[in-house]
């Protein structure tokens, strides 16, 4: 089992090469979640995730011969970047095996740090098998993302810093992929404050720790925005620690993870990937568990693909009824389109896009439909805008 002394030794070893990230209160998110919330900004690490801590702790333990031979790791992205970056700093050759579906930004950033990137398999498990084969074939040191005591001790420095900054925390909520982060944090936090409660969070599509704790067969899979915690099974080291130290593991829906990503951008002005926003998602989806408590959460990573982020933000506008599609039926006479557009503007709506439909879905050739994509302040503003159009005799529906 990992000890507090091992975590403190890791903290001393990596000091100066890894950021001691801010751990700050959020007044607005505290009101939103009904908690006194503190956020650990691990997305401010150089490679934008906590993974640097464990990776560097492991790399610094290698002997001269191991360093010369080089290292290999498998990762969906953040562990890859951490190993690549710190291996380059230390002059250690690094090979990273990543699943073919890894986000482009993580593949690019791993290559930028000088590692050899091999894309293999459709899942992290496939990439792991290939990495193990290459390690044996080429005599490389395998740097596992979570099934390694030095890795777990390094990740535990997150919890050490959180408790040193706020020793009176009631609860920590931590995302779970392979389990290295929660295992390290739980070990540090419970040693420093035996009364603190630790909760894990998993995506509803990959609830492997939740299933193992319940004694159920592990059945996971599907699309998820939280690819950083989309792991088919957790590590044995993590499972043993979680059984002993963690209160419960909750699962969250994809939509809630998206809401959390949007909330962190709009409120905290900080970018989180899906896995990085999972802890906040737990507070949003299970508020009764944490109401009135002093809660600490990590934003474990910020490496989200730009295209995905753009889609999440737009979907957030739609979900909050701040981006709506109005379908308007109007007479096919000169000036009709301009009249409706002016009415929308007068009601405070911002027209983003217009599509004029004369052929499909119209009741009459004399009454074409026009779809307006409109930005509004909120759902109440949308309702007011629709009423103002209807009062002017405009037939309109929200789709």
Active site residues: 51, 300
How far, in Å, are 75, 85, 91, 292, 392 from residue 57 at the CA level? 17, 13, 15, 36, 68
**Cα–Cα distances in angstroms (integers) from residue 59 to residues 86, 93, 120, 156, in the given order:** 8, 11, 24, 16
Residues 6+ apart with CB under 8 A from 132: 142
98 has which bridge partners? 119
Cβ-Cβ contacts under 8 Å for 359 (sequence gap 6 or more): none
SS3 303: coil
Q: How many helices (H) and strands (E) does the chain have?
A: 17, 14
11: three-class secondary structure by DSSP: helix
CA end-to-end span of the chain = 55
Listing DSSP states for 286-351 in one string gives: -HHHHTT-EEEEEE-B----HHHHHHHHHHHHHHTTSEEEEEEE--SSTTHHHHHHHHHHHTT-EE
- Three-class SS of residue 295? strand
């Amino acid at each position: 089992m990992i000890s507090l002394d091992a975590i403190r030794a890791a903290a001393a070893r990596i000091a100066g090469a890894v950021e001691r990230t801010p751990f700050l209160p959020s007044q607005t998110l505290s009101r939103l979640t009904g908690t006194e919330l503190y956020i650990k900004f691990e997305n401010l690490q150089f490679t934008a995730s906590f993974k640097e801590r464990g990776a560097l702790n492991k790399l610094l333990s290698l002997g001269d011969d191991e360093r010369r031979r080089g290292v290999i790791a498998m990762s969906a992205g953040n562990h890859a970047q951490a190993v690549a970056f710190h291996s380059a700093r230390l002059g250690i050759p690094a090979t990273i095996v990543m699943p073919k579906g890894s986000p482009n930004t993580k593949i690019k950033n791993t290559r930028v740090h000088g590692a050899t990137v091999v894309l293999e398999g459709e899942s992290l498990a496939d990439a792991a098998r290939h990495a193990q084969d290459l390690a044996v074939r080429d005599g490389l040191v395998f740097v596992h993302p979570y099934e390694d005591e030095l890795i777990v001790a390094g990740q535990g420095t997150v919890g050490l810093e959180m408790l040193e900054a706020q020793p009176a925390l009631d609860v920590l909520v931590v995302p779970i992929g392979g389990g290295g982060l929660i295992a390290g944090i739980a070990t540090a936090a419970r040693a420093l404050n035996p009364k603190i409660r630790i909760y894990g969070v998993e995506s509803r599509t990959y609830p492997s720790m939740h299933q193992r704790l319940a004694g159920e067969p592990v059945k996971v899979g599907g699309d998820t925005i939280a690819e950083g915690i989309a792991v088919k099974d957790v590590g044995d080291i993590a499972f043993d620690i979680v059984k002993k130290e963690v209160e419960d593991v909750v699962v969250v829906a994809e939509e809630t993870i998206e809401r959390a990503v949007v909330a962190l951008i709009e409120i905290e002005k900080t970018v989180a990937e899906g896995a990085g926003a999972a802890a906040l998602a737990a507070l949003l989806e299970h508020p009764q568990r944490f109401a009135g408590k002093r809660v600490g959460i990590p934003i474990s990573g910020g490496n989200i693909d730009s295209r995905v982020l753009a889609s999440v933000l737009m979907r957030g506008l739609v979900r909050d009824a701040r981006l709506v599609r109005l379908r308007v039926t109007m007479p096919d006479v000169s000036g009709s389109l301009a009249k409706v557009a002016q009415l929308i503007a007068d009601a405070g709506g911002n027209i983003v896009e217009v599509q004029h439909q004369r052929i499909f879905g119209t009741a009459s050739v004399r009454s074409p439909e026009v779809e307006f994509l409109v930005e509004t302040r909120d759902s109440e503003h949308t309702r007011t805008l629709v009423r103002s159009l209807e009062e002017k005799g405009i037939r309109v529906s929200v789709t």
